[in-house]
Chains A and B, each alone.
Chain A
């Protein structure tokens, strides 16, 4: 079974600073995907970024980038030039199985990191 660990319950940084959220996971799969989701107070879970394990290049989406270390099973999220709107819960997520036989399966989420951007 896949496990996902986020060791930072809460982080607080000043606006415009760079912040890194950590995530480690455990899996016996060789081919898989990893996701970061953001959940602001408005409640909607928003996909921030997706990483394919067999791609060595780290994924980037505007101010968001990941540092993916497959051997170390580490998947951290870096937010550059942080903005007030980045204040949210951030969840690292991993597919429960890569092949359930039914065509789809749910996500296993880490416990989350509450990120607060201070003005």
Chain B
């Protein structure tokens, strides 16, 4: 069973549409992540939220707008996307690391949303 739930599983949208991707976890994790994965490539980090605050933005275009309304939910709002934005979008969550050992927490991933831009 997937402990990180992503909806929808598939999304097709035009370049002028506005849509949102949703991610939910109930493991008590206070760090949440968005990754973008192109076909046959590894995931690439987009955003990191820690304690519901945006802590890392990997220079992602403003047509992607993340939101963390509470500790269990993470949204990714999409607007005016380009065909090259077609990809698998993965959400992940983890415990927040302790001081000087942040990187020890394993990340738990959802099944992803397959996004296609027409």
Residues of chain A having any CB pair with chain B under 8 Å: 31-33, 35, 37, 42-47, 50, 52, 91, 95-100, 102-107, 109-112
Contacts and interface: CB of A to CB of B under 8 A. Distances in A.
**Which size class do B's interface residues fall under?**
35 or more
23 contacts: A33-B103, A33-B104, A37-B109, A43-B111, A43-B112, A45-B90, A47-B108, A52-B104, A91-B42, A95-B104, A97-B103, A98-B101, A98-B102, A100-B55, A102-B55, A103-B50, A103-B55, A103-B97, A104-B48, A104-B97, A105-B56, A106-B56, A109-B43
A18 to B, nearest CB: 25
**Interface on chain A toward B: helix, strand, loop, or mixed SS?**
loop
A46 B111 CA distance: 10
A102 B30 CA distance: 11
Contacts of B108: 47
Interface in B60-94: 88, 90, 92, 94
B103 A50 contact: no
B55 A45 contact: no
Contacts of B33: 104, 106
A45 B109 contact: yes
Given A45-B90, A103-B50, A107-B107, A97 B41 contact: no
A104 B55 contact: yes
A29 B114 CA distance: 35
B2 A107 contact: no
B23 to A, nearest CB: 13
Contacts of B94: 104
Nearest to A96: B45
Contact of A100 (B2, B102, B105, B109): B102
A47 B108 CA distance: 7
B103 A98 contact: yes
A106 B42 CA distance: 13
Given A109-B42, A111-B41, 17 more contacts: A31-B101, A32-B103, A43-B111, A45-B107, A45-B109, A91-B42, A99-B99, A99-B100, A100-B102, A102-B48, A102-B53, A104-B48, A105-B48, A105-B56, A105-B102, A106-B33, A106-B45
